[in-house]
Amino acid sequence: MNIKDIFEQLDLRDSDVQGGELAVHSPIDGAQIAAVKVDSKEQIDTKINNAQTAFKQWRNIPAPRRGELVRLLGNLLREKKEALGALVSLECGKIYQEGLGEVQEMIDICDFAVGQARQLYGLTIVSERPSHKMREYWQPMGPIGVISAFNFPVAVWSWNTALAIICGNSVIWKPSEKTPLTAIACQKIFEQALTQFGSDAPDNLMQVLIGEREVGEQLVASTKVPVISATGSSAMGRIVGTQVAQRFGRSLLELGGNNAIIVAPSADLSIAFQGIFFGAVGTCGQRCTSTRRIFVHADVYDELIGKLKHAYGQVKIGDPLDENVLVGPLIDQDAYNNMQDALIIAARNGGEVVGGERILQDQYPEAYYVKPALVEMLGRVDNVQEETFAPILYVFKYTDLEEAIERQNDVPQGLSSAIFTTNVLEAEHFTCESGSDCGIANVNIGTSGAEIGGAFGGEKETGGGRESGSDAWKVYMRRMTSTLNYSKELPLAQGIKFDFSDL
Ligand code: UN1
C-alpha cells in the first residue's frame, strides 16, 4: 500500500494533510509526508466549550445505547485495520505487523467497552437506620482530555475513548506532535461511526487538538476538563500531574518504565529467549513496556546470552513496511542521540556493549536505524535507573532470587516485570506482596504486549494510573452515594439526638 492509497482509504484529503504549519515526517526515510494545521489558543477554547456542550447532551443517552456507538467504531476499525495499521507504520515507524496489532488492540477495547456499557455497576449497601437504603451510582464526569505519545499513536487513544464514551463523557485528544496524521484518521473514523449512529449523538463528541507542548498545557490547565489521561515520559507526567492536582482535577498517568525480566535456572530457555527478544528489540525498544533489563541466573547465563547475541547479530532491520523486517527505525534524531548517550554512560560504567551503532545511513540519510544494543553489566554496576526509549538491553547475572527481585524493584519506575521459571514456588513468590513492585508482573511471558482485558499501568514514577480493562472505566466516572429513607421518621445516623419537638 502506498501513501496515496493509505490516505484515500482513511479519507485523508489534501485539506486535512496539506498547507498547515506542523510538518509531519516519516521516520522510515525522514521525508515530509504532510503539513497539518495547528489549533490556535482560541480554537482550543472553542473546542473545550464544544466538548462541554456535547457532554451535557451525551450524558443523558442510556449507557447501552452509548455502547452502540463504540460497537460501530469497532466495526469500522475492522474494515480499516490494514490502512490504519499501515499509517501507524508510516508515521511512527513500527513494523506493519505491530501496526496491525495496535489496531487490533483498538478493536478489542471497543468490544470490551460495548459489554461494559451494560455493566456500570454500583453497590447497594445496608443502612444502619430502619427503612433506609444506600446505593452507589456511577455518573459521567465531563470532557476527558487524552494526551498520547508517538509510540502507540492510536491504541492508547482508543483505550481512553472507548471507555470514556460509554461512561457518558466527551473526549478531547491531544496526540503527539510527531503523530498527528493517525489522530486525524481516527477522528474521521469516529465521525463516520457517529453518522451511522444517528441523530441522538451530539456534535463534537470527540475532538482532536493538533500542536506542540503549549496545546497540551492549555488542555491540562482547563478546569472545564475534569479528567486528564496522559501517557508519556515521567518528566512530562510530573508536570501534568502537579498541574491537574492543583486545580483538583483527576489525572490518569501512564509514564515511563524500566522493565525487567528474571530468568531462573529452571526456565524454559526457548520461551525466555523469545520473550526477551520481542520485548527488547520489538518496536525498536520504543514501548513503555519494552524489556530494558534482564537478570539471568549464573547457571543459564552463557547459554541464554549466547543465543541472544547471535539473534542480535542476525535480526533484520530496515523499512518497517517490508514484511521480512523485525526492527524499524527510531522515531527521530533526538531518540538516536539519547541512545548513544546512554551507551557511552554504560561503557563508562564498565558495561560491555554489543551493537547500538547507526546503520543504513547511505540509504536513509535522514532516518535513524540502529542495531539493537545488548550491554553486559558484568557485576560492576548493579542497576540502571534511567529509561532510554531505544533498544538497549542491560544484562545482569544473579545467583540469589531474593536479591534479583530486589534489584529489579530498585528503580524509580514500576510498570512491567516478568519471571521465567518452571519452579512454582519462585513463580508464586514473584507475584506475592514481597515480590515484584510493578503494575504488571508476568510469569513465563515477557514484559511487553499486554492484552487489553487487564488494567494497564504501573506504580512509582510510572504514575499509578490504570487504563483499558478490568475496572479502569471507573476513572472516567464520579461515584455518587445516595441514602434513601422510605419511612415517616427521620432518624439521624450515629444515633444522634437532635430534639426540637418543643420549639
Ligand atoms: C505503551 O507503550 O504506551 O503492553 C503501551 C504493551 C502494549 C501497550 C504498550 N499493549 O506492550
Give the mean pLDDT of 38-52. Answer: 98
CA of 287 relative to ligand 1 center, distance in Å: 6
Indicate if 254 belongs to the active site: yes
What is the reported pTM?
Answer: 0.97
What pLDDT, on the 0 to 100 scale, is given for residue 309?
A: 97
Q: One-letter amino acid identity for 33?
A: I
CA of 107 relative to ligand 1 center, distance in Å: 15
Q: One-letter amino acid identity for 457?
A: G
Compute the distance between CA of residue 259 and CA of residue 278 in angstroms, rounded to an integer. Answer: 13
Q: Is the confidence at residue 381, as pLDDT, over 80?
A: no
What's the pLDDT band for 501 if we cut at 50, 70, 90?
confident
CA of 280 relative to ligand 1 center, distance in Å: 13
Compute the distance between CA of residue 289 and CA of residue 457 in angstroms, rounded to an integer. Answer: 10
Compute the distance between CA of residue 320 and CA of residue 329 in angstroms, rounded to an integer. Answer: 8
Interaxial angle between packed helices 96-116 and 155-166, expressed in degrees from 0 to 180 and rounded to the nearest 10: 10
What's the pLDDT band for 496 if we cut at 50, 70, 90?
very high
Q: Exposed e or buried b for every residue in 125-141, given b needs 16+ CB within 10 A?
A: eebebeebeeeeebebb
Atom of ligand 1 nearest to the CA of 286: 2
Which helix (H) or strand (E) segment holds residue 116: the answer is: helix 96-116
Q: Please tell me if the CB atom of residue 417 comes closer than 6 angstroms to any atom of ligand 1.
A: no
Q: Which residues contact 341 (CB under 8 A, 6 or more apart)?
A: none
Q: Is the confidence at residue 94, as pLDDT, over 90?
A: yes
Cα Rg of the chain (Å, integer): 25
Compute the distance between CA of residue 374 and CA of residue 308 in angstroms, rounded to an integer. Answer: 9
Atom of ligand 1 nearest to the CA of 416: 4
Residue 93: left if φ>0, alpha if ψ -120 to 50, beta else—which one?
A: left
Q: Tell me if residue 172 falls in helix, strand or coil.
A: strand
Catalytic residue chosen out of the listed positions 68, 102, 254, 376 = 254
What is the residue with the minimal CA distance to atom 7 of ligand 1?
A: 449
Per-residue pLDDT tens over the stretch 225-248: 999 999 999 999 999 999 999 999
Compute the distance between CA of residue 327 and CA of residue 300 in angstroms, rounded to an integer. Answer: 27
Q: Which residues contact 382 (CB under 8 A, 6 or more apart)?
A: 396, 407
Q: Is the confidence at residue 382, as pLDDT, over 90?
A: no
Q: Please tell me if the CB atom of residue 312 comes closer than 6 angstroms to any atom of ligand 1.
A: no
Q: Is the confidence at residue 380, as pLDDT, over 80?
A: no
Cβ atoms of 481 and 134 within 8 Å: the answer is yes
Compute the distance between CA of residue 33 and CA of residue 31 in angstroms, rounded to an integer. Answer: 6
Q: Please tell me if the CB atom of residue 413 comes closer than 6 angstroms to any atom of ligand 1.
A: no
Sheet of 250-254: strand order equals: 206-208, 171-174, 144-147, 227-231, 250-254
Cβ atoms of 251 and 230 within 8 Å: the answer is yes
Q: Please tell me if the CB atom of residue 415 comes closer than 6 angstroms to any atom of ligand 1.
A: no
Atom of ligand 1 nearest to the CA of 448: 11
What pLDDT, on the 0 to 100 scale, is given for residue 127?
A: 97
Name the residue among 143, 138, 184 with its Cα closest to residue 52. 143
**From residue 96, how far is each of 140, 277, 282 by CA, in Å?**
37, 18, 12
Give the mean pLDDT of 30-37. Answer: 98
CA of 379 relative to ligand 1 center, distance in Å: 30
Give the mean pLDDT of 13-24. Answer: 97
Cβ atoms of 87 and 96 within 8 Å: the answer is no
What pLDDT, on the 0 to 100 scale, is given for residue 420?
A: 98
What pLDDT, on the 0 to 100 scale, is given for residue 63?
A: 98
DSSP secondary structure of 199-240: TTSPTTSEEE--SSHHHHHHHHH-TT--EEEEES-HHHHHHH
Per-residue pLDDT tens over the stretch 442-491: 999 999 999 999 999 999 999 999 999 999 999 999 999 999 999 999 99
**From residue 176, how far is each of 16, 351, 384, 479 by CA, in Å?**
17, 33, 27, 31
Residue with cell 497539518: 36
Grid cell of 72 as nine digits: 460501530
CA of 448 relative to ligand 1 center, distance in Å: 6
Name the residue among 165, 172, 60, 157 with its Cα closest to residue 117. 165
Indicate if 128 belongs to the active site: no
**From residue 484, how far is each of 124, 126, 481, 492 by CA, in Å?**
11, 11, 10, 13
Q: Which class for 405: exposed (0-12), middle (13-18), buried (19 or more C-beta within 10 A)? A: buried
Per-residue pLDDT tens over the stretch 149-206: 999 999 999 999 999 999 999 999 999 999 999 999 999 999 999 999 999 999 999 9
Per-residue pLDDT tens over the stretch 100-110: 999 999 999 99
Per-residue pLDDT tens over the stretch 329-360: 999 999 999 999 999 999 999 999 999 999 99
Per-residue pLDDT tens over the stretch 396-409: 999 999 999 999 99
What's the pLDDT band for 209 if we cut at 50, 70, 90?
very high
Q: Please tell me if the CB atom of residue 240 comes closer than 6 angstroms to any atom of ligand 1.
A: no
DSSP secondary structure of 294-352: EEEEHHHHHHHHHHHHHHHHH--BS-TTSTT-SB---SSHHHHHHHHHHHHHHHHTT-E
Q: Is the confidence at residue 379, as pLDDT, over 80?
A: no
Average pLDDT, rounded, for the chain: 97
Rounded to the nearest 10°, the torsion over CA 160, 163, 167, 173 is 30
End-to-end CA distance of the chain: 84
Name the residue with higher pLDDT: 500 or 245: 245
Cβ atoms of 328 and 320 within 8 Å: the answer is yes
What's the pLDDT band for 378 if we cut at 50, 70, 90?
confident
Compute the distance between CA of residue 165 and CA of residue 34 in angstroms, rounded to an integer. Answer: 30
